[in-house]
Structure 1
């Protein structure tokens, strides 16, 4: 963990307690090594792999890998090379160390921007982007990049967060400030339209709702995140400031998510059977005679 610890320590050394109190969520994630998993956590990652069926040995990409949770989870289940792309070098250092520490040797973390990725066309069988597109200035440009690097008959998997009902404007504005990116009030149809392209089929769409968390649960999670070894070397006042900042974000996001839902969406260019279904179905309910 030497490289990751040095990277985080150097970043924290240049910050005062007052500076930490102004950091956006992404910066705090990088400094604390917060897991930053997709909505639904590991269950969502495993569900994507189950639905997408990536072929053995074929490359997989996660856009916005952050501290590595999803890329490492995917690599642990796949006999294939996995690449995580993120623009934050501190997060990449943590992700690389975590993979090494856990013995996952088929994952690599690359520094880069999802709106202009350093990869050749038609490279990856599966491109996973969770909700990272929401944080990018140009959604369409980013999604064009995802499709550019996606191999023929590959799968683009997204887990976008969207609003099921409109939030109060002060709440939306506060979340926008927290993530340091424009936050549009988008619904599910917006993301389906954004990811849709001529010749692309939406082959899976599983919607989910969020469950509110108690203040005690949030406090426990903050304590877990800030109890990591690399933070033990930091002054207590800086760790306390990070803890306070994380608690602020989690409470704010929990309130915002009460207006939201998310979906696991899989898009496939060139799908050979794009015909619509006339007689729609749904899972059968259990009944007894």
Structure 2
């Protein structure tokens, strides 16, 4: 089925009464919200620098959604990028965006991150943002990431975690918004999760979030709604979508006040895995 048909069918079936029940991932797929990783394109460019990607590399993004990250990778590297996501509407948007920008070194597949349709050792870099949090079996997903990772390849993970415990009610509301019973995880949880007997943590950077004003959230919602493909929506549906997006963004902004994220880089089969005795830090 052509991608434009997939998108048209999904939008034409949307009704006002459906919108309040949509979780964030579903709504993002319908409206083509960029759904960028924590830190946006700067995070992807940092991963490229940290991974020392060589010409001809093969990159896999697990949880590509509407394509922002995979397209960012493809626009910077000399290599092949594959984005994989369970949502066919999001994947259709991603495919159309890549074609619109003339990027022929990226493609998007519909598949589950816990059951990847690729041979062992296919990719030089496997990247996952916070998608693993949405999966029921975190360790099973981790094992799949490593299965498709090439010898001396790099697993780059950018998980979100709580630096301080959030209120229970907030955590429950965020869980309902993303359609997952959100666990309270910390930095050590994700460091340990992505560790593997055959891999070495070669780099780690920690970032805090900057809280957003109501005005900046409202402006962002308007920018999402002001896309040509949404002009076909009934005004009442579009208004409901805007209110739902604003609810999500305000909720997530409050939640991220308790959170941080890391860039974690693990190298498989690294020849120098020894612990460093005298640690150092950059001086600014």
User: Which TM-score applies when normalising by structure 1?
Assistant: 0.96
- How far apart in 2 are the matches of 1:241 and 1:8? 19
The aligned residue for residue 130 of structure 1 is 129
How far is the alpha carbon of 1:197 from its aligned partner? 1.2
Residue in structure 1 matched with residue 20 of structure 2 by the alignment: 21
* Contact 2:67–2:91, Cα closer than 8 Å, also in 1: yes
SS in 1 for 2:260: strand
**Helix, strand or coil for the counterpart of 1:183?**
coil
Alpha-carbon shift at residue 4 of structure 1 (Å): 4.4
Asked whether the equivalents of residues 55 and 125 of structure 1 are also in contact (C-alpha less than 8 Å), the reply is: no
* 1:166-192 C-alpha deviation (Å, 9 max, x unpaired): 000000000000000121100000000
1:84 partner SS = strand
Match of 2:201 in 1: 202
CA deviations over 1:74-95 (Å, ceiling 9, x no partner): 0011110100001111111100
| Aligned residue in 2 for 1:73 | 72
- What is the correspondence of 1:1-289 to structure 2 with a 5 Å cutoff? 3-285=2-284
* CA displacement at 1:199 relative to structure 2: 2.4
Q: Secondary structure at the match of 1:70?
A: helix
- Gaps in structure 1 of 5+ consecutive residues: none
How far did residue 234 of structure 1 move?
Answer: 1.2
1:211/1:42 Cα in 2 relative to 1: closer, same or farther (>3 Å)?
Answer: same
Mapped to 2, the partners of 1:70 and 1:183 lie a distance apart of 23
Structure 1 residues 230-253: Cα deviation after superposition (integer angstroms, max 9, x where no partner): 000111111111111100000000
Q: Is the 8 A contact 1:5 1:230 kept in 2?
A: no
Q: Do the aligned residues in 1 keep the contact of 2:172 with 2:181 (CA within 8 Å)?
A: no
Moved over 2 A (4+): 2-9, 12-15
Distance 1:110 1:182 in 2: 26
Q: What is the alpha-carbon distance in structure 2 between the residues aligned to residue 23 and residue 164 of structure 1?
A: 28
CA distance in 1, matches of 2:3, 2:33: 13
Q: CA-to-partner distance for each residue in 1:108-127, whole Å, 9 max, x for gaps?
A: 00010000000000000000
> Matched residue of 2:79: which SS?
coil
SS of the residue 2:22 aligns to: coil
Select between 82-91 and 3-12 the one with higher mean Cα deviation: 3-12
SS of equivalent residue, structure 2 residue 220: helix
In the TM superposition, what is the alpha-carbon distance from 1:5 to its structure 2 partner?
4.3
Q: How much has 1:3 moved relative to structure 2? A: 4.5
Secondary structure of the structure 1 residue equivalent to 2:150: strand
CA RMSD of aligned residues (A): 1.1
Structure 2: runs of 5+ lacking an equivalent = none
